[in-house]
Chains A and B, each alone.
Chain A
Amino acid sequence: MNKLLLAALVSSAIAVPAYAADYTIMAPAAPGGGWDQTARSMQQALTEEGISSNVQVTNVPGAGGTIGLAQFATQENGNPNALIVGGYVMVGAILTNASPVSLENVTPIARLIGESDVIVVPANSELQTMDDLVAKLKAEPGAVSWAGGSAGGVDHIAAGLIAKAVGVDPTQVNYIAYSGGGEALAAVLGGQVTVGISGYGEFESQIAAGELRALAVTGSDQVEGIPTLKESGVDVNVENWRMVAAAPGITEEQKASITADIEKMANSDTWKSILETNGWTDMYMAGDEFKAQLESDIESTTAVLKDVGLVQ
């Protein structure tokens, strides 16, 4: 009996293709959040496409992902099987939390998906267009309360950039932080705040139902016919995105191999159908192009967080 078991174990071990790497993906957030969903979707796509035979997801929640990031950078040094999911929110959180570990302490592989923020008002609001909002903001900045996700996150950054672009002191932005776009949605629907600003997906069904009016999206392209900020005369372009990074201290060959696996995953049908069902936009970008984009995002985020007074 034992011999049989042993034989089964050995044969199953041999059956695993030698080229397939095992990955452990850290979602630096609690189960259920965006990063967790991204990590678990990667797990699904990597295994179903046969890119990797064994993918585990671990959750290390807290502080905009910086707790997970710090743990990842110190404990996975040189481990070619370790991946971490992150995103724009992490860029802001690293700065506001004065995190000792930054994205420079890991090996960014690729930007995967993204989402534009959308600016909404309740259907019965007096504000009809982005111009109305800009006029009100210029007249009395404090009277415009913005509901969005956590302080220093992409929603807050976008609000600060808008104020700055229209010539209003960003420190005057009356930003009301909620623990997520969902809670902010309730505040907008209840007319507790002037405008809501968060990911398009958070407000999508309410916009479709006519409960909320979308004034503009913050990204570079229109979404469902909603004009962009640039088209509305506000020179701001900011999108939330999620990325995957590998451990620090890996060799160039290891980095190339991981990048190849991720690229294969990003081009797979499984991944495309996951994006479709979740309503995520493909924003795949890797290599030097991603490196340059990341640097410019970090630079502009640092500037705006200084402007709104969150970073000294």
Chain B
Amino acid sequence: MDTFGLLANGLAAAMQWQNLIYAFIGVTLGTAVGVLPGIGPALTVALLLPVTYRLDPAGSLIMFAGIYYGGMYGGSTTSILLNTPGESASIVTALEGNKMARKGRGGPALATAAIGSFVAGLIATLALAFVAPWVVRIAIAFGPADYFALMVLAFITVSAAFGDSPLRGITALFIGLGLGVIGIDLQTGQARLSFGIPDLLDGIEVTTLAVALFAIGETLAIAATSANVKDEVIAVKGSIWMTLEDWKRSWPAWLRGGFIGFPIGAMPAGGAEIGTFFSYAAERRLTKHPEEFGEGAIEGVAGPEAANNASAAGTLVPLLTLGLPTSATAAIMLAGFQQFGLQPGPLLFTSNASLVWALIASLLVANFMLLVLNLPLIGLWVRLLTIPKPWLYSGILLFATLGTLGANGAMSGSLGPIRFSFELMMLLGFGILGYVLRRFGYPIAPVVIGLILGPLAEQQLRRALAISQGDPVVLVHSPLAIGLYIVAAAAVLVPLYLRLRGKGEVLRQLAADED
């Protein structure tokens, strides 16, 4: 049977009414839990795994898919409305999304996120169905040196999130890189900069840093400004739906996000957040409204959200074709497969074709269900912003604190007889850092990006050099790496060249005017 026939069979299985109900329950639970910071999709799926033991395989896979997508969308909702990114993949969404929400455009921001997730999820799921075996070959060909080249490219494109001053951007990035060094070094097993504190052995949790810098830092900044300053948050301005202009600006971003996110997610060491960085950088370069970036550009929400969702479907490529879980959620899904006696791997597509296609079809169904559930809820969500500011910010503080305690509430710190949660102290400490950065005009995002990319880049560089026994030539030995460096060089040089030429033209123009 050809791929279309298999997919149609899978869809027929997934569209049975009880499976649709499972998808609906999954999406509802996922969204509800995803909105709470601290409990990510991985923990939700882990908690619900025993429930699905009682369902048939197709039903439980569909519920998984629903929870997964719902959890991710729930995270975006809080990022946009409250500036509290619950997972690293929605940090970029918060950049533009929250600015939009403050200008009364929370409705379109949530809509473009939901529809973008759907569009990109569709692209990625179809890509999963048709090209997974080929994509995985390319993904595997990526060696440590190639990953390092990819990280170099990421570092360069990250400058898109720097704001107006490159020096301040780089300073912020280096704070993040510095924080990234903390913890046990993977290659040697030795602790670095942990000062004998066990809680620092595993490094600094990205979500703790992100929530602290974004949400706590901002709350402090608001509290520090005079109460007489006029409230700038406008709950709803204009329609809560997307205008024609919004659609026009969103759809190319959705498509680009989908095509950027899927291959990144498929890479065994990719990470969903890297796709969102690339997407944001691409949108910022390509936009016709560069002045809106940093002030609430809809492309800056549409692209990264699409990339995030496509990347989630992308992680299923190594999972299904290699049995390789590249995220915590994928690892739990792997456990779920094994429950039904399935061993994901190269033989899965031939030995358990019907179930694999049921899963792929259920991703499509869950994706659609997400849209059905969430579009009508947007009107309700944006009302959150009509809450008076003191209440809203105290609510944000409460949720940020609860989320951190939920993720790691261990009372592991102690000061004499007083026990406290170390994670919470870090949250508050970084919140103060976030306030200071804001106060002196430093951008926030590069700090978080540095914490994410720094350790990845370091590990890949050291692996590459260890395998080559110290020979640096290995870094430029593969065509993939060379290609990535060329793209990186172009990303630096082309705008520089254009600016120089532009200046030249201006000068000529001036000279011509003088004549």
Contacts and interface: CB of A to CB of B under 8 A. Distances in A.
Interface in B337-357: 338-339, 341, 343-348
A169 B469 CA distance: 16
A106 interface: no
B140 A205 contact: no
B189 A32 contact: no
A205 B143 CA distance: 22
A145 B466 contact: yes
Interface residues of B, number: 57
Interface residues of A, number: 57
B222 interface: no
Interface in A126-154: 142-143, 145, 150-152
A44 B318 CA distance: 29
A53 to B, nearest CB: 15
A40 B335 CA distance: 11
Nearest to B190: A96
Contacts of B191: 97-98
B142 A190 contact: yes
A97 B184 contact: yes
B42 A31 contact: yes
Interface in B157-190: 184-190
A204 interface: yes
Interface stretch (B88-96, B285-293, B323-331): B323-331
Interface stretch (A112-120, A180-188, A289-297): A180-188
A177 interface: yes
A40 B324 contact: no
Interface string B210-254: 000000000000000000000000000000000000000000000
A192 B189 CA distance: 22
B346 A177 contact: no
Interface in A69-97: 70-71, 75, 93, 96-97
Nearest to A194: B467
Given A151-B189, A152-B189, A32 B46 contact: yes
Contacts of A186: 139-140, 268-269, 318, 322, 324
A152 B269 CA distance: 21
Interface string B182-214: 001111111100000011011000000000000
B141 interface: yes
Interface string B131-154: 000000001111110000000000
Nearest to B40: A31
Most central of A62, A66, A151 by chain B CB within 10 Å: A62
A32 B338 contact: no
A180 to B, nearest CB: 8
A199 to B, nearest CB: 12
Sort A-B residue pairs by CB-CB distance and give the 10 closest, nearest first.
A205-B345, A32-B331, A186-B268, A31-B46, A151-B189, A62-B202, A63-B201, A209-B346, A152-B189, A96-B189
Given A32-B329, A67-B199, A205-B346, 11 more contacts: A32-B331, A60-B408, A60-B410, A97-B191, A177-B189, A182-B323, A182-B331, A187-B144, A205-B347, A209-B345, A278-B335
Interface of B: 42-43, 45-46, 49-50, 53, 139-144, 184-191, 198-199, 201-202, 268-269, 318, 322-326, 328-332, 334-335, 338-339, 341, 343-348, 408, 410-412, 463, 466-467, 469
